A and B are shown apart, each in its own frame.
Chain A
Amino acid sequence: MNNMYSFLVCFLVFVSSGWAQSIEVSPELKQKIEKAGANLHLDKTHAMDPVAVNATLVWSDDKSQVAVVMKASVEIGWHIYAYVPETAPYITTELKLELPKGVTAIGEWKTPKSKPYDEGIYVYEDEVVFVQYCTVDAFANEAKITSGMYYQTCDIHKCFPPVTKSIDLPLK
């Protein structure tokens, strides 16, 4: 009996972990993303604050999945770092995500293409959109997703210290 119980537990754990990894993002949700990203409004950037960040939620038709669409606009001439080797002094952009109970990320953030900048350094310039798909079960009334970026922005004359910008996205 105990052996049967143990087997059942292991089986369920195995199946559920495999289940989470095999969740497909609904094609109709994917189709909505590009338009959502394009329509997402951003504050104007300027020389003292060269990066604007905003985010929105895009739901699948059946509300079982939601995509966090986060867009950053980088002032012309400036960039943020997609990848910085350990031997360089700049700060790689980190994407932040806080999910409430009932919402689970599907894989990792989908990131835009970066550009080579210097020895081993890759950057994001202009407008870039990041997407995190999630599954949604039951959630509390006031539940929200918090999406954000920790980044450093530089141009050829100046680097700002790294900052975090976050956006709260109520689920309801």
Chain B
Amino acid sequence: MKNKLFYSLALAICMTFTGFAQEKQSISVLYVGYSADKPMPENLASASISGGMTAERFKAEYGKRMPAFKSLLEKYFTTVKIVDARDYNESMSKEVDVTVFDEAPTPIKPRVINNDPVTGEFVSMEPAKYVSDDFNSAAVFIGHTSSVIGSSLGSKLDWYCLCLDRHAHHIKTEHPIFKGPFKTSITLKDMATPSGVLEAFDGMDVPKEIPMWEVDTEGYEDGKGFRIGMVARGWGFEDSSNAEIISSGVCSKQKTAVALGRHGNFFLWGFAGSPDYMTAEAKKVFVNAIVYTNAHKNDKLIVRKYNERIATKQFIDEMAFYTTKASYDSHVKFYEELNENTVKQKAEFAKKQAAGEELSQREKMILNSDPQKIKTREEYLEKNIGRNKWAKITGLDTLAIRKYLKDNRPYFFSEPDGFYDLNVDEDIKSLQIANTDINVLDKAISMLENGTETTKAKRILLRYTLENFPTAKAWRTWFNKNKSNMFFSEVGGFVWMIDDADANPKVRPRSEKEIAALISK
């Protein structure tokens, strides 16, 4: 009996210690940030370096983030390495399981702007490169680093807005990062819905309060120059199988802005606080995110989003919204209140000035301002709709606009370098097949096989795929082999792709000019 008790106690103690030992995951993590041992970077005015921190706050915090992350990571992972961003080389990421980018490394190639050699007008831009085009190591990006580093790679974790504060909302609470392996609860609290959500075209029905999760204990909205978090664009984010939105967050954008998300083996932790400013729950979720990213370390990017301002068909909904009375009324109300407030303040500060009192910078600015001209309904429509090429067809007739958008939705597409510029593809419209319907490829191939409207067929295939086969037979072979494993990506350039990162040609979607040139050969 005594022996049984002894052995039971010994077993219980062993299990307890084993439990504690299991806290660390056998994952090697590399943290890339700024070391206090190196001089402070210059050019703090660049958000790519400061992350939107004021210079004063940056200097005060310099060198503190690295030890904070190191301490947190060492608590949960067996192998932790740290490197100053200026000493980082991408081969270091090959030596570890997951890299945490808290700062961007030194660029390896500057930004290139291509202008028309004759007119000098802007043609295209290639972002600066911070890693090579072959970089595919698993990484967790803190805030703006996801776009600074990922832009040249076509990452969907793009720079929508450097304006993320410290709370998450619209959270997928069932996601694995909230579950483990490090257990934590997620405390949700109803808080006032951000105005950016309510005023957006898709936010009119959002309640005035929504559940939120506190990630950081301080944010830039506290007005003390804190580093600012980043959200990525939500439209088209999930149009490939290995990309997922996990949460939005308090920012000046709509509810679909992505604060936490994954694209392949890249994870966006949009919130800016170091572990010194993370809540206890956030620390657990952050390390869970590293574990989750490691689980996806071999998930290479399939879709490459090289143009962060490419419109998706969701833009049609936004355009339709602008034609509504509710949209215009909301616009008028907003500016009427703004102007009313400005007039009151101007009067107050004018009085103060007349009394010989010193005005603050803000007060001087308000005194030297004019009210916003409130647009007429026509001007409002002109601003929001008139810029579209198809507006020549509809004019500013709201019913005509809505009908045009609804009737042509299946046929809208964007050129690869289009900036919020959707146009109707008359080729597929003539076939009455949507570009989102894989039968559009089948039909085009059949046209090639039958020798009917072959130029149109070629245009469709070159526009909506990354392939370029010389014969109808080759097209058919490719299509039959892959059609059950294909998907349509709008942010990837309105192309049909094979759901396999190694199966698609390493080329970019084609512009209409490139398509015409290929066909004329």
Q: Contact at A82–B365, with CB atoms within 8 Å?
A: yes
Q: List 25 A-B contacts (CB under 8 A).
A: A44-B121, A47-B309, A48-B122, A48-B125, A82-B369, A83-B362, A83-B366, A85-B362, A86-B225, A87-B220, A87-B221, A90-B163, A113-B369, A114-B368, A115-B369, A116-B339, A116-B341, A150-B45, A157-B309, A158-B160, A158-B308, A161-B47, A162-B45, A162-B46, A162-B47
Classify chain B: how many residues form its interface, as a range.
35 or more
A20 at the A/B interface (Cβ < 8 Å)? no
Is B380 close to A, CB under 8 A? no
Question: Distance (Å) between the CB of B385 and the closest chain A CB?
Answer: 12
Looking at the assembled complex, report how far the CB atom of B389 sits from the nearest CB atom of chain A, in whole angstroms: 14
B371 and A115 within 8 A (CB): yes
Q: B252 contacts A46, CB within 8 Å?
A: no
Task: Tell whether A26 is near chain B: CB-to-CB under 8 Å.
Answer: no
Q: Which of A44, A161, A164 contacts B48 (CB 8 A)?
A: A161
Please tell me if the beta carbons of B365 and A86 are within 8 angstroms of each other in the complex. no
Which of A47, A83, A87, A162 is close to B223, meaning CB atoms less than 8 Å apart?
A87
Closest-by-CB residue of A relative to B315 is A157
Q: A159 at the A/B interface (Cβ < 8 Å)?
A: yes
Contact B362 A116 (CB under 8 A): no
A24 within 8 A of B: no
> Which chain B residues (160-195) contact chain A, with CB distance < 8 Å?
160-163, 195
B372–A113 touching, CB < 8 Å: no
Within 8 A of B (CB), among A75-124: 77, 82-83, 85-87, 89-90, 111, 113-120, 122
Q: Are A46 and B122 in contact (CB under 8 A)?
A: yes
* Chain B neighbourhood of A34, CB < 8 A: none
Which of B163, B365, B387, B420 is A114 in contact with, Cβ under 8 Å? B365
Assess whether A49 is interfacial by the CB under 8 Å rule: yes
Cα A115 to Cα B221 with chains together (Å):
22
List A residues 48-83 near B (Cβ within 8 Å).
48-49, 77, 82-83
Q: Is B469 an interface residue (CB 8 A)?
A: no
**0/1 interface trace, chain B 370-400, chain A, CB 8 Å (1 if under):** 1110000000000100010000000000000
Task: Please report the C-alpha to C-alpha distance between residue A162 and residue B420 in the assembled complex, in whole angstroms.
Answer: 22
State which residues 224-268 of B face A: CB under 8 Å: 224-225, 228, 252
**Which chain B residues border A111 with CB–CB below 8 Å?**
368
Task: Using CB atoms, name the residue of chain A closest to B311.
Answer: A157
Partner of B121, one of A46, A158, A164: A46
B40: CB under 8 A from chain A? no
How far is B372's CA from A82's CA once the two chains are assembled, in angstroms? Answer: 14
Q: Measured between alpha carbons, how far is A133 from B221 in the docked complex, in Å? A: 37
Are A49 and B420 in contact, with the CB atoms below 8 A?
Answer: no
B420 touches A157 (CB 8 A): yes
Task: Report whether B371 and A49 are in contact in the complex, using a CB–CB cutoff of 8 Å.
Answer: no
Nearest to B161 among chain A residues (CB) is: A159
Q: Is the CB of A116 within 8 A of B371?
A: yes
Closest 3 CB pairs of A and B: A86-B223, A83-B365, A89-B163
Number of residues of chain A lying within 8 A (CB) of chain B: 30
Task: Indicate if B419 sits at the interface (CB-CB under 8 A).
Answer: yes
Q: Which residues of B contact A89 (CB under 8 A)?
A: 52, 161-163, 220, 228, 252
Chain B residues, Cβ within 8 Å of A47: 122, 309, 419
A96, B224: Cα distance in complex, Å: 25
Closest to B334 in A: A118
**Measured between alpha carbons, how far is A169 from B508 in the docked complex, in Å?**
43
A-chain residues with CB within 8 Å of residue B47 when the two chains form the complex:
161-162
Question: Residue A85 contacts which of B223, B225, B368 (CB distance < 8 angstroms)?
Answer: B223
A162 to B309, CA, bound (A): 18
Question: Besides A83-B366, A86-B223, 9 other CB < 8 A contacts?
Answer: A85-B223, A89-B52, A111-B368, A113-B370, A114-B370, A118-B252, A150-B45, A157-B420, A159-B162
CA distance A114 to B339 in the complex (A): 12
> Which B residue's beta carbon lies closest to that of A83?
B365
CA of A158 to CA of B308, assembled, Å:
10
Known: A89-B252, A161-B48. A83 touches B361 (CB 8 A): yes
Q: Does B338 contact A (CB under 8 A)?
A: yes
Which A residues are in CB contact (< 8 Å) with B329?
none
List, in ascending order, chain B residues with CB within 8 A of A120's CB: 362
- Report A160 CB to chain B, min CB distance, Å: 9
> Known interface pairs A157-B420, A161-B46. Does A77 touch B369 (Cβ–Cβ under 8 Å)?
no
Could you tell me the distance between the alpha carbons of A114 and B419 in the complex, rounded to whole angstroms?
A: 27
- Within B101-128, the residues touching A (CB, 8 Å) are 113, 121-122, 125
Contact indicator B220/A115 (Cβ below 8 Å): no
- Least CB separation from A154: chain B residue: B161
- In the bound assembly, the distance between CA atoms of A164 and B43 in angstroms comes to 11
B511 CB, min distance to chain A CBs, angstroms: 16
Give Cα A119–Cα B195 distance, bound, in whole angstroms.
Answer: 10
B222 at the interface (CB under 8 A from A): yes
A49 → chain B, closest Cβ, in Å? 7
Q: Which residues of B contact A119 (CB under 8 A)?
A: 195
Q: Given A111-B368, A115-B371, A157-B309, is A164 in contact with B45 using a C-beta cutoff of 8 Å? A: yes
**Chain B residues, Cβ within 8 Å of A85:** 223, 362
Chain B nearest CB, measured from A159 CB (Å): 6
B residues 409-423 near A (Cβ < 8 Å) are 419-420
Whether the Cβ atoms of B342 and A113 lie closer than 8 Å is no
Which A residues lie within 8 Å of B121 (CB)?
44, 46
Chain A CB count within 10 A is highest, among B125, B225, B308, B369, for: B369
Task: Give Cα distance in the complex from A83 to B359, angstroms.
Answer: 14
Q: Which chain A residues border B160 with CB–CB below 8 Å?
A: 158
Whether the pair B342, A116 counts as a contact (CB closer than 8 A) is yes
| Bound-complex Cα distance A120 to B221 (A) | 13
A87 touches B222 (CB 8 A): yes
Binary contact readout A144-172 vs B (1 if CB under 8 angstroms, 0 otherwise)? 00000010000001110110100000000
